[in-house]
Amino acid sequence: MGIIKAAGSMIGGALGDQWLEVLEPADMDTNTVACPGVFKARNDARNTNTKGTDKTISNGSIIHVYPEQMMLLIDGGAVVDYTCEEGYYEVKNSSLPSLFNGQFGDTLKETFNRFRFGGVTPTSQRVVFINLRPIAGIKYGTSQTIDYYDHDLKLFGQVMARGKFAIEITDPILFFKKVIPPAVYMNNRLLTMDDIYEQRYDMKFLDALSEGLSQLSDEGVSIGAINSKKSRVRDILKERLKEDWDQKLGFGLFDLDLVIKYSKEIQEKLDQRSEMQFLNDPSMRETMMQKNISEGIKAAGSNSAGAMQGFMGVGMGMNAMGGFMNNSSATNMQQMQMQQQQQLAQQQAAAQQAAAQAPAPAAGGWDCACGQKANTGKFCANCGQPKPVPAAAWDCACGQKGNTGKFCANCGQPRPSAPKKIRCDKCGFEPDMSQPIPKFCPNCGDVINEADMV
């Protein structure tokens, strides 16, 4: 028993008259993982198979397969054929499996050979469709805190994670055998992510998440930067779940949404570190000082005792604090200048290192008329003149061949002037004069000679 692709010319408005039964996937939404094939024409008056049962797929029936779906033909609990290529397929009880692999290549053939049964018992036949689109919106959350060591803070912090993740079916046949309960396809019901979630496959995910955060800590990522490393965490989890999910169950992690919540102690430490980083920046300190002076003057103008009284208070305060503010501002400016000098020194050092590592000019370069030697590019490195185009070789009437200069190297005759136009005297073809003159007419093959010069 197997399937073959039905010819497109045989599929038309009279499909119900031509085929015994037509099977299509049941309604499949974004939350559906697998669904049964349902008969679309069994109760049609034109259907000749009026005594069929839901457990039998008649020979010659047609199965519709749509994009991003995997169709499995089940007989006696065994996968006897499959396809993940959209189209119309005819059931042939006498045919061998055709195995339309689509995007999965040889992977499905290997899985099919591993799980197929010796012999077919045609007592219960089903069609199952598996959703190949990513299944998103699977919620998760840690019930206990996860220890995370921050190398910058030099302490262990506690974090909790929550969010959503998406999976994709990587081996549909393995997924059918290991994940889909027989009751699903035997009773013609849908399999949703809620059913998958009840099988507690998310426990492996939470274990991998804990190990993945530990690996992130080993890589030196600060605890406050975890939320910005979602793609890195996703890649770590995909690798860690490959054995337990992809290789054993046939599905893998596709995407990850991650939200990290910190303990109160860690949040206070992060706030303190942000404040210290702010105060260590002299430009930020100077900006804050000028901002405070500006706000003080603004507040003096709205003093309830009068603007003059307010400005007098500001003046007294500035006189009292003048020495401190001047010293602080001078320190800020000095540190800003030092930072600029350090950045300039680093840029110069990087430029020198790049120049030292630059490859030496290649031998055999060309010399420019300005005196610049060993140029390697299309333009002179000194004056920018383009690289001279070597003159085409020419043959002299004396018999000397391959001359490149203006005069013949044998007899001294001048190089013949280039013709303004060439027209083949046999067919009239005119070549492009901006290109090298061909030796033979590209149209008729006649030799280009003096007779063709115009």
Alpha carbon separation from 402 to 49, 391, 407, 411 (Å, rounded): 87, 11, 11, 13
Q: What is the pLDDT of residue 329?
A: 60
Structure tokens at 151: 């190398």
Q: What distance in Å separates the CA atoms of residue 70 and residue 102, rounded to the nearest whole number?
A: 9
In 3D space, the residue among 59, 51, 138 whose CA is nearest the CA of residue 94 turns out to be 59
The secondary element (H helix, E strand) that includes residue 158 is strand 155-169
- Side chain identity, residue 232: R
Instruction: Give the sign of the dihedral formed by CA 261, CA 264, CA 267, CA 269.
Output: negative
Q: What distance in Å separates the CA atoms of residue 204 and residue 258, rounded to the nearest whole number?
A: 16
User: Quick check: helix, strand or coil at residue 84?
Assistant: coil
In 3D space, the residue among 219, 216, 251, 253 whose CA is nearest the CA of residue 238 turns out to be 253
Structure tokens at 399: 């018999």
Q: What is the pLDDT of residue 11?
A: 47
User: Could you tell me if 74 and 127 are in contact, meaning their C-beta atoms sit under 8 angstroms apart?
Assistant: yes
All structural domains of the chain, each given as residue ranges with its CATH number in brackets, are 2-131 (no CATH), 135-171+193-269 (3.30.479), 398-454 (no CATH)
Transcribe 90-104 into DSSP letters.
Answer: EEETTSPP--B-GGG
Q: What distance in Å separates the CA atoms of residue 156 and residue 413, rounded to the nearest whole number?
A: 91
Question: Strands 62-65 and 78-83, how do they pair?
Answer: unpaired
CA angle, 51 then 53 then 56, to 5°? 115
Instruction: Give the sign of the dihedral formed by CA 437, CA 443, CA 446, CA 449.
Output: negative
In 3D space, the residue among 118, 84, 87, 112 whose CA is nearest the CA of residue 97 turns out to be 112
User: Could you tell me if 160 and 147 are in contact, meaning their C-beta atoms sit under 8 angstroms apart?
Assistant: no
Transcribe 371-401 into DSSP letters.
Answer: S---B-SSB-TTT-PBPPPPPPPB--TTS--
Q: What distance in Å separates the CA atoms of residue 131 and residue 26, rounded to the nearest whole number?
A: 11
Transcribe 23-48 into DSSP letters.
Answer: EEEPP--TTEEEEEEEESSTT-TT-S
Q: What distance in Å separates the CA atoms of residue 362 and residue 127, rounded to the nearest whole number?
A: 68
Render each residue's pLDDT in the chain as its tens digit; 454 residues.
567 776 554 444 444 444 467 888 888 888 888 988 888 755 454 444 444 455 677 778 888 999 999 898 887 777 888 888 888 888 876 555 565 555 565 556 666 665 554 444 455 678 899 999 998 888 888 888 888 888 877 778 888 899 999 999 989 889 988 888 877 767 778 888 777 776 777 788 899 999 999 999 899 888 888 888 999 999 999 999 999 999 998 999 999 999 988 877 776 766 665 555 555 555 655 555 555 555 555 555 555 555 555 445 545 555 554 554 555 566 656 665 666 677 777 777 777 776 666 555 455 678 888 888 888 888 888 888 888 766 667 778 788 887 777 788 888 888 777 666 788 888 888 887 777 777 788 888 888 887 777 7
CA angle, 159 then 160 then 161, to 5°? 125
CA 214 to chain centre: 26
User: Quick check: helix, strand or coil at residue 3?
Assistant: strand
| Phi and psi torsions of 155, nearest 5° | -155, 160
Question: Strands 62-65 and 22-25, how do they pair?
Answer: parallel
